[in-house]
Amino acid sequence: MIAGREPFAHPHAGGLTRDFNPAEQLVLEAERARDAAMLLGHQRPYREFPREWVEEALSTKGFDVKDAKSDRVWIDKGLPTRQLNWARTELNSIPDKNLSKELHAHISRLQAKVDKCPGLNRMTEAGEPVAAEGPESAYLENWYIVATRN
């Protein structure tokens, strides 16, 4: 079995592929900040692969896809906060300390926005964070593939 995550829709040379609500925009900005810190610190950022690509690659390599499914996972502020924390850990690897300082300030501004975003800050009655479906919410899509060698 192989598990993965669909990449978020990202802006491209022609502009945004779709409109993003504030929660989705903050998740994307947190990932971009993490990737920028990693690249500037001479690291390679992590990448997701679309399920369709993986299924095609498996078939090309002689595997038979027996089953595949996807499920949606609603995001709370924990995901972008972890991405921003990861970005902060990469700042020490950036040789240009002025650039590192500016990126740190940008990360702090993003964290303040994440902390205030209604779509990322839903709480249970007990005061615990909860990821919930809604028009102001963001989600990621996990996928699972079961394949056997032909």
Q: Is 90:37 a contact under the CB 8 Å cutoff?
A: yes
Q: Give CA–CA dist 132/147, Å, rounded.
A: 32
48: left (phi over 0), alpha (psi -120 to 50) or beta: beta
Residue 96: inside a domain, yes or no? yes
Q: Are 121 and 115 in contact (CB under 8 A)?
A: yes
Q: How many CB atoms lie within 10 A of CB 99?
A: 14
Residue-range definition of the domain harbouring residue 83: 20-122+129-149
- The answer as to whether 6 is a domain residue is no
pLDDT at residue 132 is higher than 80: no
Q: Give how many domains the chain has, as a whole number.
A: 1
What's the confidence (pLDDT) of residue 133?
72
pLDDT single digits (tens) 10-26: 666 555 556 778 888 89
Q: Are 21 and 119 in contact (CB under 8 A)?
A: yes
C-alpha–C-alpha distance, residues 34 and 90, integer Å: 8
Q: Are 33 and 91 in contact (CB under 8 A)?
A: no
Residue 69 has pLDDT above 80, yes or no: yes
Instruction: Say if CB 137 and CB 1 are below 8 A apart.
Output: no
- Tokens of residue 139, six digits: 């989600």
On whether residue 13 sits in a domain, the answer given is: no
Is residue 90 one of the residues assigned to a domain? yes
For the record, the structure tokens of 101 come out as 């300082």
Is position 98 within any domain?
A: yes
Residue 2 lies in a domain: no
pLDDT digits (tens, 9 = 90+) for 78-123: 999 999 999 999 998 999 999 999 999 999 999 999 999 988 887 7
pTM for this model (two decimals): 0.77
Question: 3-class DSSP state for residue 145?
Answer: strand
